[in-house]
Amino acid sequence: MPNTIRRFARLIVKRLRRVTSSTSSPPVGRAVGDSNHEQQDIQDGVETENLNVAEIQNHASFDDVNAKSPSSSCVHLKLEECSSAEDSSDNEKEDAIRESEEEAAEELDTMRSLRIEDALNESRKMQDALETRPKTVNGRRLMKEFRFLRKASEDSEGAFEVFPYSEDGEGNDLSEWDIRYYKFDESSHLWRSMQDHGIDCVRFRISFPSDFPFSPPFVRLVSPYIENGFVMNGGAICLEVLTAQGWSSAYTVEALLVQVAAALAHGGAVVSKHQKRKQHKLTKKRAEAEFQRIVKIHSKYGWVKLDKEEG
- Please report, in tens digits, the pLDDT of each residue of the chain (311 residues total): 566 667 777 777 777 777 666 554 444 444 444 445 445 554 555 454 454 445 545 444 444 444 444 444 444 444 555 555 556 667 777 777 777 778 777 777 777 777 777 777 766 765 665 454 444 557 888 889 999 998 888 888 888 999 888 776 555 678 899 999 999 888 899 999 999 999 999 999 999 998 888 999 999 999 999 998 889 889 999 888 999 888 998 899 999 999 999 888 888 899 998 888 888 889 999 999 999 998 888 888 777 654 433 33
Based on the residue annotation, tell me whether 74 is a catalytic residue of this protein. Answer: no
Query: Under DSSP, is residue 177 helix (H, G, I), strand (E, B) or coil?
Result: strand
The CATH number of the domain holding residue 212 is: 3.10.110.10
Please check whether residue 264 lies inside any domain of the structure: yes
Taking the CA atoms of 51, 52, 54 and 55 in sequence, report the sign of the dihedral they define: positive
Cα R_g (the chain), whole angstroms: 62
Supply the pLDDT for residue 59: 47
In degrees rounded to 5, what are phi and psi of residue 223? -170, 155
Q: Using CA atoms, how far apart are residues 220 and 222, in angstroms rounded to an integer? A: 6
Supply the pLDDT for residue 69: 46
The number of angstroms, rounded, from the C-alpha of 171 to the middle of its chain's C-alpha atoms is 43
Please check whether residue 119 lies inside any domain of the structure: no
Question: Omega of the bond prior to 164 within 30 degrees of 0, cis?
Answer: no
The number of angstroms, rounded, from the C-alpha of 145 to the middle of its chain's C-alpha atoms is 45
**What total number of domains does the chain contain?**
1
Supply the pLDDT for residue 80: 56
* Choice among 74, 82, 201, 238 that is catalytic: 238
Please check whether residue 108 lies inside any domain of the structure: no
Predicted TM-score (pTM) of this structure:
0.53
CB atoms within 10 A of CB 290: 18
Residue 147: domain span? 141-301
Length of the chain, in residues = 311
Please check whether residue 120 lies inside any domain of the structure: no
Burial of 237 (0-12, 13-18, 19+ CB in 10 A): buried
Inter-residue contact 181 to 159 (CB < 8 Å): yes
Please check whether residue 112 lies inside any domain of the structure: no
Please check whether residue 114 lies inside any domain of the structure: no
The number of angstroms, rounded, from the C-alpha of 43 to the middle of its chain's C-alpha atoms is 102
Q: Parallel, antiparallel, or unpaired for β 176-181 and 160-164?
A: antiparallel
Q: Using CA atoms, how far apart are residues 285 and 234, in angstroms rounded to an integer? A: 8
In 3D space, the residue among 170, 161, 275, 183 whose CA is nearest the CA of residue 225 turns out to be 275
Taking the CA atoms of 15, 21, 26 and 31 in sequence, report the sign of the dihedral they define: negative
Please check whether residue 81 lies inside any domain of the structure: no
pLDDT tens digits for range 263-307: 888 888 999 988 888 888 899 999 999 999 988 888 887 776 544
Q: Using CA atoms, how far apart are residues 99 and 215, in angstroms rounded to an integer? A: 59
Q: Helices 32-155 and 2-24: crossing angle, nearest 10°?
A: 150
DSSP string, 262-285: HHHHHTT-EE-TTHHHHGGG--HH
Query: Under DSSP, is residue 1 helix (H, G, I), strand (E, B) or coil?
Result: coil
Please check whether residue 199 lies inside any domain of the structure: yes
Q: What is the mean pLDDT of the chain?
A: 74
